[in-house]
Amino acid sequence: MDKRLVKIGEAARLLGTSVVNMRRWEASGELLPARKTKGGTRYYDVAELLNQKNGDTPTVCYARVSSHDQKADLERQQIMLESYCAAKGWRSTCIKDLGSGINDKKKGLQQLLEIILQKQTKRLVLTHKDRLLRFGSELVFAMCALQGIEIVIIHQGDQPLFEEELTKDVLEIITVFSARLYGSRSHENKKLMEKLAEAATSC
């Protein structure tokens, strides 16, 4: 019986990963295409991909920072996560997010939750616990436990600049409540919110 072969895009979809990761695994020798044309088109054996998915599924790493001026830290997180997994001999893929720790609508977080719900990984690795969510990470960990997904947190303590990021999150909460309250007693509420924001930034 002939093998059923698919191109790299479909192969990535079957594994729940990206084309970039597929090429990275090829370069490292972890997952090679069944055939590669002279033009560079890669074809993967579907049966082999399904064995990969059901067996040695990739470890998922998640990195996040709160603002654009922390992009360098986001790259450092990714390097740390991938290096840690490589040292453990784990095939890994990294999801990155840029946004507040209290925002549960981030694109990367939604992708991670889908992977957990579909049990497309057996391990989640974080640099710090609060990289996932400032509030609500325990719920995500409970979902992982129900799916038999291992949680690995490289650093158990608070990370540097914890207070600074927490202040940004508090200010975001104040902004949201401020917008909701301005409609009725605008003058009084505006004064209250300004005092709260001032107190948060002075901590």
Contacts of 197 (CB under 8 A, 6+ apart): 171, 174
Q: What is the pLDDT of residue 118?
A: 84
Residue 140 maps to which CATH number? 3.40.50.1390
Please indicate, yes or no, whether residues 118 and 166 belong to a single structural domain of this protein: no
Identify the domain boundary among 132, 153, 174.
Answer: 153
Q: Of residues 18, 28, 66, 137, which has the active-site annotation?
A: 66
Please indicate, yes or no, whether residues 80 and 128 belong to a single structural domain of this protein: yes
pTM: 0.57
Structure-token pair, residue 15 = 């594994």
Number of domains, the chain: 3
Q: What is the pLDDT of residue 121?
A: 87
How many Å apart are CA 116 and CA 128, to the nearest integer? Answer: 19
Residue pLDDT, tens place only, 67-106: 888 888 999 999 999 888 888 878 788 999 988 767 778 8
Domain boundaries, position 188: 162-202
Q: How confident is the model at residue 184 (pLDDT cuts 50, 70, 90)?
A: very low
Give me the helix-helix angle, 107-117 and 137-146, nearest 10°: 30
Name the pairing type of β-strands 59-65 and 92-98: parallel
The answer to whether 83 is a known catalytic residue is no
Residue pLDDT, tens place only, 34-57: 999 999 999 999 888 877 655 557
Structure-token pair, residue 83 = 């290096």
How many Å apart are CA 183 and CA 62, to the nearest integer? Answer: 38
